[in-house]
Amino acid sequence: MGSIDIMDIETSKKKVVAFIMVVFLTSMIIFLYNACSKTIMGLINSEDYIFYTWGSIPSFFALPVIIYGDVLCLSVLLPYSLKTTPALLKLIIPATIYAAAALVLGFMLSLIISIYPLGTNYYQCKATSIVSGSHYAKSKEMCKAREYSIDSEGETQK
């Protein structure tokens, strides 16, 4: 029987953790991009009916940091990780500074968006709570029509 080197086990553990992190971060990037870009594009295009949650702006600003973390974890899996990982580790401080700035600016911009344009150009449809998002429409009639169509769809499914 051959002996198992402890360094091989440690290296294997690191690679498994890095692989799990790559899968998690990549799925997080895809989810946040799809969820946040729909909201942001609805605001930019001034659509008639949008769903807005205050966390979508800071989350969208955090995407570059999440992509950096994904690349960092991916570099551990590469065969030449001894060269790439130290180079990527040098970027941790700038990425942390960007993350903090993105978080602060994202929350401030989210507050501004809640006041204007949502507070002036849109009517808020049924809000469930401050943490969950709200639906906004250009007029009360659009909210009522949308609410009626959702209610009528629910009744037909029963």
- Per-residue pLDDT of the chain in tens (158 residues, 90 and over written 9): 455 676 688 888 989 999 999 999 999 999 999 999 999 999 999 999 999 998 999 999 999 999 999 999 999 888 887 888 888 999 999 999 999 999 999 999 999 998 888 888 898 887 777 777 888 999 889 988 887 776 665 554 43
Position 1 in a domain: no
pLDDT at position 103 is 96
Task: Count CB-CB contacts under 10 A for residue 140.
Answer: 11
Provide the pLDDT for residue 111. Answer: 92
pLDDT (0 to 100) of residue 157: 40
Asked if residue 106 is part of any domain, the answer here is yes
Q: Quote the pLDDT of residue 85.
A: 85
Rounded CA-CA distance 33/134 in Å is 19
- Please, what is the Cα angle at 46 between 120 and 130, to 5 degrees? 55
- In this structure, the strands spanning 123-124 and 134-137 are antiparallel
Q: Does 48 reside within a domain?
A: yes
pTM of the predicted model as reported, rounded to 2 decimal places: 0.81
User: Quick count: other Cβ atoms within 10 Å of Cβ 26?
Assistant: 15
* Residue span of the structural domain in which 91 resides: 6-121
In a domain, 151, yes or no: no
Rounded Cα gap, residues 111 and 90, in angstroms: 33
13 touches 76 (CB < 8 A):
no
Cα–Cα distance between 121 and 44 in angstroms, integer? 13
60-70 as b/e: b if 16+ CB within 10 A: bbbbebbebbb
How many domains, in total, are found in the chain? 1
Is 90 among the domain residues? yes
